Chains A and B, each alone.
Chain A
């Protein structure tokens, strides 16, 4: 697809640690990793792997990012778009400084 041309953002794996931790904490609190995995169509063995790590007390969202961002080499822009499609607006805000400003309009204003 031509969508890649719009994208100058960094790889998900290069997100600063503080941003990544804040993001994972937020996604884990919403417990949305299974929806994320289903949306991007992760294979069953990868979903099972995340489930196993979760049972051992590790962050499932962090492992989701390891796989979708790591093996598949997706960018922060792709992640931002994923959050937009799943209406995870606060998650979009957490990573917004790492996508171009022209995309910020996709984040709805927060409702009090």
Chain B
């Protein structure tokens, strides 16, 4: 197959992503306060570069061993930020996260995508996979609210 063009790769740090792309992502995360769901599961002291590749972020193991980066109080501080016109609350959250931590902790597109899938924010996960990485949309679980529902097609329909 032809090599596919993608604007970023999984190791691209979020602070290197164009503001306009972050803004589009932020608008998606504003729906149903999804930014809060994402922020509340970010692990502490993550070696972002080592966790960027597909499947490299073992969430259960990491979060059990090192805990979470943001407390409930820090999340409510973001919530209380006064937004200027045209600004999105998710953008404030991403701006905080993307510049946080030491060099190897700076979040990457790959880390973001895996955290989005883990928190079942498929609107943003599908967007990051297709628009940032030119990858197929991530697989869905077979059960729960993220699972696809389809018409029961008889063999004659196909």
| A binding-site residues for B, Cβ under 8 Å | 1, 3-4, 6-7, 13, 40-43, 46, 49, 66-68, 70-74, 77-78, 80-82, 84-85, 102-103, 106
Q: Which residues of A contact B126 (CB under 8 A)?
A: 73
Question: A81 and B151: CB pair below 8 A?
Answer: yes
Question: A73 and B149: CB pair below 8 A?
Answer: no
State which size class the interface on B falls in: 20 to 34
> Is B32 in contact with chain A by the CB < 8 A criterion?
yes
| Beyond A42-B145, A71-B34, A72-B120, 19 extra complex contacts between A and B, CB < 8 Å | A1-B150, A4-B148, A6-B150, A13-B31, A40-B145, A41-B145, A43-B145, A67-B145, A70-B123, A71-B122, A72-B122, A72-B145, A72-B146, A73-B123, A73-B125, A73-B126, A74-B149, A78-B149, A85-B149
Main secondary structure of the interface of A (DSSP, over half): helix
Q: Which residues of A contact B144 (CB under 8 A)?
A: 41
> Is B24 in contact with chain A by the CB < 8 A criterion?
no
A-B pairs with beta carbons under 8 Å apart, 15 shown: A1-B140, A4-B148, A6-B150, A7-B150, A40-B145, A66-B31, A67-B32, A70-B32, A70-B123, A71-B120, A73-B125, A73-B126, A78-B148, A81-B150, A103-B151
> Is B72 in contact with chain A by the CB < 8 A criterion?
no
Count A-B contacts at CB 8 Å: 66
A-B interface, 9 closest residue pairs, ranked by CB to CB distance from nearest: A3-B150, A73-B123, A70-B31, A73-B122, A81-B149, A81-B151, A71-B32, A82-B149, A72-B146
